[in-house]
Amino acid sequence: MLRELSIRNFAIINDLSVTFQEGLTMLTGETGAGKSIIINAVNLLLGSRASPDLIRTSEDTAELEALFEVPPDSQAGMVARAQGFDVSEGLLVRRIIQRNSRHRIYINGRLATVQMLSAINEHLASISGQHAHQSLLKPEQHLLVIDQFGDLIELRGRVSACYQQMLPLLRKLADLKRQHIQQAEHRELLEFQCREIQQAQVAPEEDRKLEQERQRLKHAERLYETVGKCVDRLYGAEGAVVEYVTEVGRELQALSSIDSSLSVVAERVQEASFQLEDIANDLRSYLHSVVFDSDRLETIETRLDVLQRLKRKYDGSLESVLAHGKAAEQELKRISFLPEQIAETEEKLDQLYKKLCKLCHELSEKRREAAERLSERVQQELASLGMSGTRFEVKFKPSPVDEGADPYLVLDNSGIEATGIDRVDFLIAPNVGEDLRPLAQIASGGELSRIILALKAILATKGSVETLIFDEVDAGIGGGVAEVVGRKLQVLARYHQVICITHLPQIAQFGKHHFKIAKRVYRGRTRTTMTPLHGEKRVKEMARMLGGVKITKKTLDHAREMMAGRGNREP
């Protein structure tokens, strides 16, 4: 529900703020007073395109603000929350229009886009008129009207849920089939890689160990000769290092009787002698381990060549070779199950497809029944609104089937969508003898507003839009028909906030609230004002609408009579 509207520097409006209430609100005033400007401002706040031409002369920017009260469980509330907006304290929409065309939109103080604004406000408010921002004129909305009227929303939801279940399965099946087509060549490669790695019998760090052994075999003669010399120098030859160290230890030990501090050094020298003997023994053992085996060296060289080739092929290390082999085995196992997975997925899709077809057929049949009833109701409503003889029909056509469409998304030569298999258009012939035309092609603003009023009245308890604004609803009508229009607006206001611009007192009398829009010149500039009317002020405005510029006692009495008697005419 629209709670507050603020307009600054917009067209001939300098600074205007107004608070709206629930129920039926009437906006009246002389032609050219600025009623259409207010409608344009609301349109912009609903997401219409902005133009710098709308900025008040001599000003650089225009600012528009609207505060909406949004029920949390409403469609608008759910869309707003999905976009990250908290609507617990309302939805504040602010739009700034600049002459440099760098316009800005804020929702609850956060910078937003036109797309975000339109998505929320599509379910929040609508304007009916010749140049209206009106969802009911969109063919894609006509199917929703049928479903709302026929109480088919729950069935439509079941169709959508089944359809949404199928989509991921269809993507999965397409992916599995694509893999299946590619798998022959891929499988052959994987089998070769697995076989190559398995036959190589690669062990972790095998290359490092073989490289060490290769170095020992390749330099065995040098190792044996050099280590043998070292053993002789340490222990075996005359004048070996061990002999000299042992002699040094004995001499120091002898001197320790003279200087006891040398005994510690003598013991360390003796320990060094023992260690050198151990080293010599270790080297003798090493000499026994040195192998002279050219065949083994050739075997190692060949094995290292094999491992090096594998490493070059599979990312440079034996670890990566082993990891690739394991991954190839797992991939082989996975693709070996592809035919089974395809069959399982197709079975699930077959079951869902049968269910979806049954639901689509049921929904389509019930839609056609609802469409016939709706056509009759609309024609009855329009007759009471001064459009007797108007023909209204709902034209059904199949949803288009795209070239190459998945067979699971086709039924009876119709494409299956989240809304079923139907597309509909509302066709109307306002005058006898005219051909039926799409609703959006109706040229008369008055006819269009009454058609939409009829639809709104029929869907009053089922529509999701909170605020309805009617412009030019009284074009081309008068007298008794105008009073019928007023009554219907009054009924509609039981379920929605309704704001109506009218020139007819027969309609204005039914308003729970009444504002007068006027323009006046102040300091050489034209300004538009919007004043709430109560009591005698409202009676005078009604009298002006009845009698024109000159208000007589008779017109005032007539206005008072209309205001006093409207309660007796309330439905």
- DSSP result, 229-267: HHHIIIIISTT-HHHHHHHHHHHHHHHTTT-TTHHHHHH
Task: Examine the domain organization and report whether 269 and 326 are in the same domain.
Answer: yes
Task: Give the whole-number percent of the chain exceeding pLDDT 90.
Answer: 33
- Residue 186 counted as domain residue: no
Residue 549 has what pLDDT?
Answer: 67
> Which range, of 118-132, 211-225, 227-241, 388-402, averages the lowest pLDDT?
118-132
- Residue 39 counted as domain residue: yes
Number of other CB atoms surrounding residue 358 within 10 Å: 12
Number of other CB atoms surrounding residue 405 within 10 Å: 12
CA dist list (Å): 162 to 66, 333, 359, 562: 39, 32, 9, 56
Q: Last residue of some domain: 336, 357, 382? A: 336
Task: Examine the domain organization and report whether 450 and 562 are in the same domain.
Answer: no
Q: Last residue of some domain: 336, 364, 396? A: 336
Take residue 444 and report the two structure tokens written for it.
């008369």
Question: What's the number of CA atoms in the CB half-sphere (13 Å) around residue 568?
Answer: 5
Between CA 539 and CA 35 the distance in angstroms is 20
Between CA 515 and CA 16 the distance in angstroms is 13
Task: Examine the domain organization and report whether 273 and 328 are in the same domain.
Answer: yes
Task: Examine the domain organization and report whether 478 and 465 are in the same domain.
Answer: yes
Residue 315 has what pLDDT?
Answer: 82
Residue 365 has what pLDDT?
Answer: 96
Q: Which residue has the higher pLDDT, 171 or 484?
A: 171
| Span between the terminal Cα atoms of the chain, in Å | 23
- Residue 95 counted as domain residue: yes
Task: Examine the domain organization and report whether 478 and 557 are in the same domain.
Answer: no
Residue 130 has what pLDDT?
Answer: 46
Residue 379 has what pLDDT?
Answer: 94
What's the pLDDT tens digit per position in 489-515? 898 898 889 999 988 999 999 999 999
What's the pLDDT tens digit per position in 7-54? 999 988 888 999 999 999 999 988 777 888 888 898 889 888 888 888
> pLDDT category, 135, cuts 50, 70, 90?
low
CA dist list (Å): 75 to 19, 46, 49, 66, 120: 24, 15, 23, 18, 8
**3-state DSSP call for residue 107?**
strand
Number of other CB atoms surrounding residue 300 within 10 Å: 21
Spatial CA neighbour of 388 closest among 486, 472, 454, 483? 454
Between CA 98 and CA 59 the distance in angstroms is 9
Take residue 426 and report the two structure tokens written for it.
């509302």
Task: Examine the domain organization and report whether 209 and 114 are in the same domain.
Answer: no
pLDDT at 567 over 60: no
Task: Examine the domain organization and report whether 494 and 550 are in the same domain.
Answer: no
- Residue 425 counted as domain residue: no
> pLDDT category, 133, cuts 50, 70, 90?
very low
Q: Residue 506 sits in which domain range? A: 1-130+446-533
Spatial CA neighbour of 383 closest among 488, 496, 507, 470? 488
pLDDT at 524 over 90: no
Number of residues in the chain = 571
CATH code for position 112: 3.40.50.300
- Residue 49 counted as domain residue: yes
> For tokens 């290359």, what's the residue?
207
Q: Which residues of 122-153 are buried (b: 16+ CB within 10 A; e: fewer)?
A: bbbbbbbbeebbbbbbeeeebbbbbbbbbebe
Q: Which residues of 77-115 are buried (b: 16+ CB within 10 A; e: fewer)?
A: bebbeeeebebeebbbbbbbbeeeeebebebbeeebeee
CB contact at 8 A, 398 and 412: yes
Q: Last residue of some domain: 281, 311, 336? A: 336
SS3 string, 361-375, reads HHHHHHHHHHHHHHH
What's the pLDDT tens digit per position in 385-440? 888 889 999 999 999 998 888 999 999 889 999 999 999 999 999 888 889 988 87
Between CA 202 and CA 194 the distance in angstroms is 12
CB contact at 8 A, 514 and 532: yes
Take residue 277 and report the two structure tokens written for it.
């003997």
Could you tell me where the DSSP H helices lie in 385-496? 445-458, 479-492
Averaged pLDDT for residues 232-242: 83
Task: Examine the domain organization and report whether 509 and 540 are in the same domain.
Answer: no
Residue 296 has what pLDDT?
Answer: 87
Take residue 31 and report the two structure tokens written for it.
């032609």
Work out how many domains the chain is built from and give that number. 3
Task: Examine the domain organization and report whether 468 and 538 are in the same domain.
Answer: no
Task: Give the whole-number percent of the chain exceeding pLDDT 70.
Answer: 94
> Which range, of 73-77, 162-166, 434-438, averages the lowest pLDDT?
73-77
Question: What is the average pLDDT score of the chain?
Answer: 86
pLDDT at 328 over 50: yes
Residue 40 has what pLDDT?
Answer: 87
Cα torsion through 507, 511, 515, 518, rounded to 10: 0
Residue 464 has what pLDDT?
Answer: 61
CB contact at 8 A, 541 and 28: yes
- DSSP result, 503-536: S-HHHHTT-SEEEEEEEEEETTEEEEEEEE--HH
Number of other CB atoms surrounding residue 428 within 10 Å: 23
Task: Examine the domain organization and report whether 94 and 27 are in the same domain.
Answer: yes
**3-state DSSP call for residue 27?**
strand
- Residue 545 counted as domain residue: yes
Task: Examine the domain organization and report whether 570 and 513 are in the same domain.
Answer: no
> For tokens 């029920």, what's the residue?
71
Take residue 10 and report the two structure tokens written for it.
């917009």
Task: Examine the domain organization and report whether 7 and 124 are in the same domain.
Answer: yes
- Residue 45 counted as domain residue: yes
pLDDT at 569 over 60: no
> For tokens 């002698």, what's the residue?
273
- Residue 539 counted as domain residue: yes
